[in-house]
Chain A
Amino acid sequence: MPHFTKQFTNGAPIITAVLKVTQARADALTAANQPIPPMQRMTALVDSGASCTCVDPTIIQALGLSPTGSTLMFTPSTGAQGHTTDQFDASLQIYCTMEQAPLEIPVIGVVASELRVQGIDALIGRDVLKFCLFDYNGASGFFTLAF
């Protein structure tokens, strides 16, 4: 089982992840003679308190994504009413090392949230963690992600 153990960054489980357009969208772009946007490297926080994966809007814009979904979202900032927000299809990769096959989710729905102000580009939510074993060792200051 590919896995890696890393020390916390600023007290948090931070990883590097890659987001790119799905193969289906890449094919559609090619058919329309449009360039395929380059994949985006992200500093991502593994967040078991997030039910879905959230990405900073600058990443969404860099990939030129258009909404293909909609979801109702509750955060401390939305209050009890929640907020209906757009969902974007994308492809997510998380690497252990360059020698090992990454965790690849070919098509995942992500939502846009302002995260750069918090020093990160993405929250890796439970929609990704459902494919993983996530060990958070607060006492030692290390975490392990296996998939």
Chain B
Amino acid sequence: MALEKELETFKSKLPEWKGSEGKFALIHGTDVVNTFTSYEDAIKEGYARFKLEPFLVKQIQAIEQVQFVTRFVAPTRVPTV
């Protein structure tokens, strides 16, 4: 699983973000850079700051919204360079 450190950071910070539900957190390693009102803004800032280094953008939700696909598809890991 990619972005393991960032996901751990996200989970550890989640209780502190009660007032920020719906916003998008930008995380690099163990650093929370900021929260943004849109996914697009968070992605733009991620590339502007970290270029091609790994970073995580994830929406802050008390209960994580899951994705449903009714078609028979298998989520796939993509080997990355």
Residues of A within 8 A of B (CB): 22, 24-25, 27-29, 31-32, 34, 47, 49-52, 54, 57, 60-61, 64-78, 82-86, 88-89, 106-107, 109, 111-115, 118, 123, 125
Contact = CB atoms under 8 A, between A and B. Distances in A.
A81 B51 CA distance: 34
Given A69-B58, A111-B75, A32 B39 contact: no
Nearest to B55: A68
A117 to B, nearest CB: 10
Interface residues of B, number: 35
Interface of B: 1-3, 7, 39-40, 43-44, 46-48, 51-52, 54-58, 64, 66-81
Nearest to A108: B39
Nearest to B10: A70
A31 B79 CA distance: 23
Contacts, number: 144
A67 B67 contact: no
A94 B77 CA distance: 26
27 contacts: A22-B43, A22-B44, A24-B48, A27-B48, A31-B51, A49-B68, A49-B70, A50-B68, A57-B76, A61-B78, A66-B52, A67-B2, A67-B3, A68-B54, A68-B55, A73-B75, A77-B72, A86-B2, A86-B3, A88-B78, A107-B40, A107-B44, A111-B75, A112-B76, A112-B77, A114-B76, A118-B71
